[in-house]
Amino acid sequence: MSFAVDFSALAGQSCIVNALLYVALAIGVCKLTTLTLSYASLLLDVFVLPPVDFKTYGAKTGKWAVITGASDGIGKEYALQLAKRGMNVVLISRTQSKLDALAEEIELKYKVGTKTLAIDFAADKASNYESIAELLQSLPVTVLINNVGQSHSIPVPFVETSDEELRNIITINNTATLKTTQIVIPLIQSTLKQNKGTRGLILTMGSFGGLLPTPLLATYSGSKAFLQSWSSALAGELASDNIDVELVISYLVTSAMSKIRRTSATIPNPKAFVASVLKTVGRRCGAQERYATSTPFWSHAIMHWAIENTVGVYSKLANTLNLNMHLSIRKRALKKLAKGK
């Protein structure tokens, strides 16, 4: 009798173990399937699907795109490539001479309209936004590119960040982006009401610095992380108005801000980067887990997906690796500054 009782207990335990094994297997298969489908979607978005047709956003029908930080680097490329697609462009940046030269180039090369406005977003003056509103008030705007931005001059501990740099980063990256977008949204809504079948588009530049909390770039990192939540929330608000809102995440790009001049597989020039953005509008690419977000350049997309699905963007390991990288960059930058004195 005792043997029978022991055997029954063992049989019961075996059933529980088997059930747990099946559950674990099912979870593993589900996770593997999800990862496979996610990565397949990334490859489809980046390499297979055809480029987005900007006629959806009013290209070649007299509609206007507004680009901030338009005179150099990524902003200049947005202006050139949108003009090439048949959008009239409003160019907003600090230096009038650069804006005039770019406007002349665009008009001669692409035969579209241009308007320019030279303002310093760091000043955070009400007159800046009054000037933007006045310039745009009669234009059928369908596209806004929130490109203007600022980072730290070199990696720096938060407590050593100068008051001017701290305030400029928050003012330019956040306040200017929000206030400009508040001006432009009603214009896009009005244009779409008069042009059924056309969609609106708001693209805002994010960064790996906002994707991963970045020691020694804490203020910049926080400003870009803010744009992630804001942009995704705005996308939900404007979806019913047929306005597509998307945060564009990038790793390094050769530019004055990054201070990098040489391209590589992971560091494209502005032309290649912007081409990837405009080709894949509305697709998540590497940002598979994020709503209204895209990491469009192919190597950045793979990097984003890999980090998210291995150590995680908020992990201690990712934070530590990021810290060590920027400590090294800071050391080299300080050494270069010392030589220049």
Q: Supply the residues annotated as catalytic.
A: 220
Burial (Cβ within 10 Å: 0-12, 13-18, ≥19) of residue 113: middle
**Whole-angstrom Cα distance, residue 312 to residue 332?**
28
Q: How far is CA 192 from the centre of its chain?
A: 24
**Whole-angstrom Cα distance, residue 142 to residue 241?**
12
Residue keyed to tokens 């600022």: 150
DSSP H helical ranges for 85-143 = 96-110, 126-136
**Whole-angstrom Cα distance, residue 166 to residue 158?**
9
Q: Tell me the β-bridge partners of 106.
A: none
Taking the C-alpha atoms of 16, 20, 25 and 27 in order, what is their torsion angle to the nearest 10 degrees? 140
DSSP H helical ranges for 111-253 = 126-136, 163-170, 176-194, 208-211, 218-238
Task: Tell me: is residue 276 an annotated ligand-binding position.
Answer: no
Is residue 74 within 8 Å of residue 91, measured between CB atoms? Answer: no
**Whole-angstrom Cα distance, residue 115 to residue 117?**
7
Helix-, strand-, coil-residue percentages of the chain, each rounded to 5? 60, 10, 30
Q: How far is CA 305 from the centre of its chain?
A: 15
* CA distances for 290 relative to 11, 174, 226, 314, angstroms: 46, 20, 14, 14
Residues in binding site for substrate: 207
Residues in binding site: 207
